């Protein structure tokens, strides 16, 4: 067997920073799918130097994907870990369809949780705190509104990506138990 390919911090950082563009190429048929595939590109290029393998991976990820933007890095982290596992697995021992299955399984629940928290809770609290201050002419109003929305989202993004990548597919097994 050849030397195992492992994603470096450089590729993982590129994937993470590209996750902020989850709505950058939103289409009706694939929703965030194209942006998700684009975010994975640095990792896929490292894992699959053979053009045919890279093409197969790009086709695998050029599908519909949609969840709350704050949870996109978590999904990307798990996908990176699973793609790394697949790239290093002996032929026929890892089903690449499981990568797509995990993405599909995470989309709905994370969207429901994320929309409830980020759109239904933090945004409402931010408006409740910030709007009266802003109406009174206090600059602290818009700042508090921004911080109440931004800080939880950033924590979920950064910690989620780390947990997703480090846990990989084992994370899902542990949670289901």
- For residue 31, give the 3-state DSSP assignment: strand
What separation in angstroms does the CA of 40 have from each of 6, 18, 64, 138, 139? 14, 8, 14, 42, 39
Per-residue pLDDT tens digits for 7-50: 999 999 999 999 999 988 999 999 999 999 999 999 999 999 99
| Confidence band, pLDDT 50/70/90 cuts, at residue 168 | confident
8 Å CB contact between 155 and 66: no
Provide the percentage of residues in the chain whose pLDDT is more than 90.
Answer: 85
Give the N- to C-terminal CA distance of the chain in Å, as an integer: 33
In the prediction, which pLDDT does 58 show? 96
| Confidence band, pLDDT 50/70/90 cuts, at residue 3 | confident
Residue 69 has pLDDT above 60, yes or no: yes
pTM over 0.85? The answer is yes
What separation in angstroms does the CA of 69 have from each of 20, 26, 129, 153, 157? 8, 12, 23, 9, 8
Per-residue pLDDT tens digits for 97-112: 999 999 999 999 999 9
In the prediction, which pLDDT does 173 show? 66
Average pLDDT of the segment spanning 160-177: 79
How far is 46 from 21, CA to CA, in rounded Å?
21
Average pLDDT of the segment spanning 73-85: 95
In the prediction, which pLDDT does 177 show? 63
In the prediction, which pLDDT does 175 show? 61
In the prediction, which pLDDT does 167 show? 87
Identify which of 81, 74, 138 has the alpha carbon closest to the alpha carbon of residue 110. Answer: 74
| Confidence band, pLDDT 50/70/90 cuts, at residue 96 | very high
In the prediction, which pLDDT does 38 show? 96
In the prediction, which pLDDT does 146 show? 94
């Amino acid at each position: 067997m050849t030397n195992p390919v492992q994603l470096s911090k450089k590729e993982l950082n590129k994937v993470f920073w590209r996750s902020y563009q989850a709505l950058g190429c939103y289409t009706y048929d694939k929703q965030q799918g194209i942006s998700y595939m684009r975010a994975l590109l640095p990792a896929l290029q490292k894992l699959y130097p053979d053009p045919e393998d890279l093409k197969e991976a790009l086709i695998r990820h050029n599908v519909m994907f949609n969840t709350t933007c704050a949870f996109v890095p978590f999904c990307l982290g798990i996908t990176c870990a699973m793609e790394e596992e697949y790239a290093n697995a002996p032929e026929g021992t890892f089903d690449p369809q499981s990568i797509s299955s995990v993405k599909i399984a995470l989309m709905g629940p994370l969207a429901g949780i994320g929309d409830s928290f980020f759109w239904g809770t933090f945004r409402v609290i931010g408006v409740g705190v910030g709007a009266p201050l802003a109406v009174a002419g206090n600059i602290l109003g818009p700042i508090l509104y921004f911080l109440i929305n931004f800080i939880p989202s950033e924590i979920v993004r950064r910690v989620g990506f780390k947990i997703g990548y480090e846990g990989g597919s084992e994370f899902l097994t542990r949670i289901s138990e």
